[in-house]
Each structure stands twice: as structure tokens, then as C-alpha cells.
A = this chain, B = another copy of it.
Amino acid sequence: MWLIKDSPALFVDLYELTMAAVYFKKKMHDTAYFEVTIRRLPEHWGFFVMAGLAEVQSYLSEFRFTKEDTDYLRSTKLFSEDFLTYLSDLKPAVKIRSLPEGAVFFPNEPIFEVAGPLICAQILESYILNILGFSIIEATLAARTSIAAKGHALVDFGLRRCQGPVASVRCSRAAQMAGFAATSNLFAAKLLNFPPTGTMAHSFVQVHDSEEESFQNFAQSYGPNAILLVDTYDSIEGIKKAARVARQLCEQRRIKIRGIRLDSGDLVRLSKFARRHFQENDVSFLKIFASGDLDEFKIYDLLKQGAQIDGFGIGTRFAVSRFAPAVEIIYKLVQYGDKGVLKTSPDKQSRPGRKTIIRVKDKYYKKDIVSQLQVSPDDLLKPLESAEKIQTIQQRLTDELSALNDSIKTIRNPTKYPVEFS
């Protein structure tokens, strides 16, 4: 899943390597333990969902400094030849303990631990944060959206609005984890073995001489896969034309097309009109899909207001979360050799030492206890081993959400889940 032509090693902040060069010179090679945590929940969020481990594994397996990389580093005149030779042989020999993908977690919990010789463990910081931060945002957002959609189909339309090609794959994989039906992104669909889907654009309607002709052409070409976009000119007229085209094709060739897409206007009113109109015109097989700046809040509100919508496409506000465009995810040293370390900067105090998370539960999750590391079968952090199947991760996320109290997973103003630090 490392998609870039080049080795990942140079996707690193310079300071990781300047610090490493000092460690090399001073022979500081004891084992360092770094833990990843997120400082706080974004507004309206009650939990986070772990994600990104498959990508971390491919990052580690591809990680190496190529000759081109060390040539570049030499050109900065900051590094000795000995150190460059050391880098060119370096393997990221680290051990990782982590929450599994699909598990829920809360602020300040240690969700991921990197243990290894100081240099190795240090220089992975920049890119591990890059992977985990956005993957967790997307997985949490996908889970929240799926809670709001209450079983209605969801589709990832994030490609055009996320920050790049790798970002688009992270969006789609989060969607897949959270049980979305499909993605519009063909590259991600192919890579992740996730169904691709789509409807039509306004331009398709516009290049035809009439809206009805465009609907006919599309319906005849795609039959049961055809979804007609009805809002290019007038949505009410568009709905009527779609019904006419669907009915004709059904009567003449026994083909039932899939449905329509609403992309603007009052989705409650339009969807109710469409449902009634389809029932009255013997095309009640037509599904009604909606899109247009949707997110978990709007989907929740639309369904509450009785919108007759069978599936939602989410793009802009899935590719970039409105309340969590970024999270304060940090990679902090907690132990070097056998010495626990801490920071006392204002607002950034850290707790020293390696840690365990224990979750107390009856029917629902009741509280988490974060304590000093103890070997316990109940510790939520497990050694990172071979990548899990997506089905395993989907099932875990489903189970985790079922075990979370409604007040924690509500879309707006959730209550705070108790986490004790002992």
C-alpha cells in the first residue's frame, strides 16, 4: 500500500535526522519507547476509531535510505560520511504494540507504541503521525456517518476534495471499514477490493439536446446500474422525467433501472415528492440517492425530518472533516533504556513510562483504566502482527460501536467517556 515511487524514508522532518546523527556520534543506542496519543476530541466527537495500521506496515516494510537519498543528505553538508553509511544500512527494527484497527479509543490514551533502538524509533515519527492522524480522522468520521445514516447506504465521493491520491485511498479504506456500500474512486476500489459506484454528472445532461434524452441514453446503457441525476434544470421536472424513462424501459424491455440522485435543493421535500410520484407511477422500485455537502449532521437531520432517501454520497465533508480537519496527535518519548521520561511544558505535560489500557465493561463499556505497563491478557494494546482482513476490522468496529453507550456515540454533544489514569 506504499503507493509512491520513491522509498518512504525521506518523508521525514529534517530534525529527526539531525537528532539521529548526534545519537550516532554519542553512541546512544538504548531502546526508546514512544507512545502515540491524541490530546483532545474535536467538538461533537465522543470517541475515536483506530486506523492506519496496514499502511504503517507497508511504510515500515518499504523503508530504506536509497543512494539517491543519502546523496541528497550529503549535499546538505549536515551529516558525516559515517552516519550516511549507517543510514544506508538502516532497517526500521522496531516493535509495535497497538490498538487494533476498528477499536474505539479516547483522548490521552496510549494507542500505539514504538519500541526500538533510539535512532530507529525516533526517525519514524513524522510519517507515522502522518499516516495515523488522517486515517483515524477518516475512520472516526466514517463511523459517525454510519451511525447517523442508521443502516441507509453510504458511498465515498471524497476523491476530488481530499488532499491527494494517497489521501483518497485513506478516505476509501475508512469508508470500507465502517461498512459503506461503495466508493466512486476507481483506484481505491481496485486496490481495496471495494465496490465502485457512481451516477452521472450535470455535464452529461447538458451535452444532450434534452434532459429526457440524456436519461434514456444512460438508462439504456446501464440498465439496473443506472442512477439518473435529476437537478440540472428543475428537480421536480427531472424526477417526473426519470420516472417516465424508468417506466418505459420497464414496460418495453423489463429492465428496472436503479434510481435517481438529488444533489441540491430541499432534500426532504424533493425526496418525499419523488417517493410518492414513483409509487403513483408504478416505478416504486426506483431508489432515491442524495448528495451535496452532506455530513453526519445533515444526514441525521434529513432522516429525522422524514426524508425518503435510500442512500447518501458524501464527498467534501468526508474528505475534510468540518470539526476535525486535523487532530493533535503526538508521538512522545515515555521511556529511554529503563528510565521513564516526561515533559513539563505548559499544557503539554506527559506521563512517563510504558502503559497498559484496560477496559471495564458489562453490557456496555463502562470506563478505561490507563496504568503502568503490566503484562495482562486484557491489555488493549497488542503486538502488531500481519495485516488483518478488512472483514475482521469491519466486524470489530461494529462490535465496538454496539458496546458504546448511545450518549457517547450521539452525533451532537456526546457525554464524556470515563478514562482513569492510575
- What is the interface of chain A, defined by CB distance below 8 A to chain B? 3-6, 8, 10-19, 21-23, 25-26, 28, 32, 34, 69, 72-73, 76, 78, 118, 122, 125-127, 129-130, 133-134, 157, 159-168, 170, 184-187, 189-190, 196-204, 206-207, 217-218, 221-222, 225, 231-235, 263-265, 316-317, 319-322, 325-326, 328, 332-333, 336, 341-348
Please indicate the chain B residues that have their CB under 8 angstroms from the CB of A157 in the complex.
13
Residues of B within 8 A of A160 (CB): 13, 125-127, 129-130, 133
Given A163-B163, A163-B170, A346-B264, A186 and B72 contact (CB-CB distance below 8 Å):
yes
Known contacts A186-B12, A222-B18, A320-B325; is-contact A345 B201 (Cβ 8 Å) = no
Structural contact, B343 and A19, CB atoms closer than 8 A: no
Residues B319 and A326 in contact, CB atoms below 8 Å apart = yes
Q: Do A202 and B22 contact each other (CB < 8 Å), given the known contacts A15-B184, A168-B11, A326-B316?
A: no
> Which among B8, B12, B202 is the interface contact of A345 at CB below 8 angstroms?
B202
Give the distance in Å from the alpha carbon of A344 to the alpha carbon of B167 in the complex.
33
Judge whether B225 and A78 touch: CB under 8 Å. Answer: yes
Q: A12-B159, A203-B332, A321-B325 are in contact. List 6 more A-B contacts (CB 8 A).
A: A13-B157, A13-B159, A18-B218, A122-B201, A164-B170, A206-B343
Shortest Cβ distance from residue A197 to the other chain B in the assembled complex, whole angstroms: 6
- Determine how close the nearest CB of chain B comes to the CB of A34; give it in whole angstroms: 7
Alpha-carbon separation in the docked complex, A167 to B222 (Å): 35
Question: In the bound complex, how far is the Cα of B18 from the Cα of A4, in angstroms?
Answer: 28
CB distance from A214 to the nearest CB of B (A): 9
Picked from B122, B187, B343, B347, the residue with its CB within 8 Å of the CB of A6 is B187
Contacts of A197 in B (CB 8 A): 14
CB-based contact A202/B343 at 8 Å: yes
Contact B15–A336 (Cβ < 8 Å): no
Q: Which residue of B17, B190, B316, B319 is within 8 Å of A186 (Cβ)?
A: B17
Residues in chain B near residue A320, CB distance under 8 A: 320, 325-326
Q: Please tell me how many copies of the chain the complex holds.
A: 2
Partner of A263, one of B34, B122, B130, B345: B345
Chain B residue nearest to A73 in the complex (CB): B186
> In the complex, A125 Cα to B319 Cα: how many Å?
17
For the complex, give the distance between the alpha carbons of A11 and B160 in Å: 9
Task: Check if B130 sits within 8 Å of A207, measured CB to CB.
Answer: no
B5 touches A264 (CB 8 A): no
A196 adjacent to B76 (CB under 8 Å): yes
List the B side residues contacting A12 at CB < 8 Å.
159, 185-187
Q: With contacts A19-B204, A344-B234 known, is A184 near B13, CB below 8 A?
A: yes
User: Once the chains are docked, how many angstroms separate the CA of A118 from the CA of B208?
Assistant: 12
User: Nearest-CB distance from A128 to chain B (Å)?
Assistant: 9
- Which residues of the partner chain B approach A125 to less than 8 Å between Cβ atoms? 160, 201
Q: Which residue of B lies closest to A28 (CB)?
A: B207
Instruction: Identify A165's interface contact among B25, B34, B164, B202, CB under 8 A.
Output: B164
Most buried by B among A34, A196, A225, A326: A326
Contact indicator B32/A207 (Cβ below 8 Å): yes
Q: Which residues of B contact A134 (CB under 8 A)?
A: 162-164
Q: Which 7 A-B pairs have the closest CB atoms?
A: A15-B198, A164-B166, A163-B167, A14-B198, A163-B163, A325-B325, A203-B333
Tell me, rounded to whole Å, the shortest Cβ–Cβ distance linking A170 to chain B. 7
B201 touches A15 (CB 8 A): yes
Give CA–CA (A231, B345) in the complex, Å. 6
